[in-house]
Amino acid sequence: MLPTLMGKTDPQRYNAYLEEKTAHIVNLLRERGIEHPAPVIHAVPAEHYRMRAEFSLYYTRENGHNSFDYVMYEKRDGNRQRITLSDFPPGHAPMSELMRPLKERIIRSEILFWKVFQIDFLTNREDECVITLHYHKKLDEERLKEELDTLRDSLCGLGFKVTGLVAHARKQVVISGSDRVLARFNLAHGRSTVMEEVEGTFSQPNAYACEAMLNFACKCAGDNPDDDLLELYCGSGTFTVALAPHFRKVLATEVSRLPTATCQRNLTMNGIENTSLVRLSAVDVSEALNHVRPFKRLYLNRIDLDEYNFRTLFIDPPREGLRYEEALRFTASFDRIIYISCGMDSLVSDLAYLTKTHRIEALSLFDQFPYTPHLESGVLLTRRDLEIA
């Protein structure tokens, strides 16, 4: 693989990086003897593709005054290497452009500067931005709120759309403005979705790759007026909202409270009425479907699993994939599987199991993080004995 270019971009070689990553996953599939169609490759802009990023801060002295550098860390040869950044070309343009004026204003304010150790950016394609400051100190919430208001007014006065500034410390949160942005994704046939993305929670970092993944998933879903969809670990509902119109009913599950609440707001905001949301793990869902034991959360949410006709499963597992045979066996019990993967090796390992019973109907690759070895994948699998209409 080509070396990771953390904090740097090389637009002239973008296609070479993408081609090499694509060849790598195709070789992995070939080595395991996994039959697959030719992958569809989804490139992204060569710069300014990241909608969120987190920066550690490294304290320095500049011209006799206390200051800091934005830094990221990377493991090289087993050692943690610090990379200093004056700007961040991978970041959406307002993020990179905000770094210097934000730094200048923070170091001029004692209350903002003292013991700040991390700064996060969350943006959308409309250039709106939420900035989060993390502190190793107890916050004077009233004074800090005044400083955040002043800072936000100053940055907006420069022409930036800073919709919110957030300060975090242990068991403390101070907010000036909003702690979230709205992300808009365009789908086929004139459809679109609007997603609320909250600072501090997971959201797709590359809006361009995310939009391509949503369209891939919707194309795989097709139209199923008599069938239902099960989605595991739905997060804030990015895929749920896009996929729901393709099915009669949807059951979406999540285990964390904050993403569950955000998902419910996103369903309401997009007018999705055929989806039930419940906090259950994948193991819980498997046991509930097999009537191993009852679950109070299903009863309280008036969800009767016997009323569903689940034929399609949507999964977007963590980087390590499904891993365990129990999870793989449960996944293989569905006629159709739409699988979004963020780990190439784990995907190939899972496919080696799933292709014993299913065939790969579609394969797409998405360049979520250009100039790194990472590549996102989308796979549609259908049961081998299933009649394809």
- CB 62: neighbour CB atoms within 10 A? 10
* Catalytic choice (210, 220, 263, 342): 342
- CB 271: neighbour CB atoms within 10 A? 9
93-111 core/surface letters (b: 16 or more CB in 10 A; e: else)? ebbbbbbeebbebbbeeeb
Strand ranges across the sheet with 336-341: 40-42, 358-366, 376-383, 336-341, 310-315, 224-232, 247-254, 275-279
Smallest CA-to-CA distance from 97 within 60, 48, 49, 146 is with 48
Any alpha helices (H) in the chain, and if so which ranges? 14-31, 93-107, 110-113, 141-157, 207-221, 238-243, 257-269, 282-289, 296-300, 325-332, 344-354
Is 342 among the catalytic positions? yes
199 alpha-carbon distance from chain centroid: 12
Is the separation of the CB atoms in 190 and 207 below 8 Å?
A: no
Is the separation of the CB atoms in 246 and 218 below 8 Å?
A: yes
Instruction: Report the helix count and the strand count for the chain, using DSSP H and E.
Output: 11, 17
Is the separation of the CB atoms in 330 and 282 below 8 Å?
A: yes
Is the separation of the CB atoms in 49 and 206 below 8 Å?
A: yes
* Catalytic choice (156, 197, 376, 387): 376
| DSSP letter for each residue of 251-295 | EEEES-HHHHHHHHHHHHHTT--SEEEEE--HHHHHHHHTTSS--
Characterise 93 by phi-psi region: left (phi > 0), alpha (psi -120 to 50), beta (else).
alpha
- As annotated, the active-site residues are 342, 376
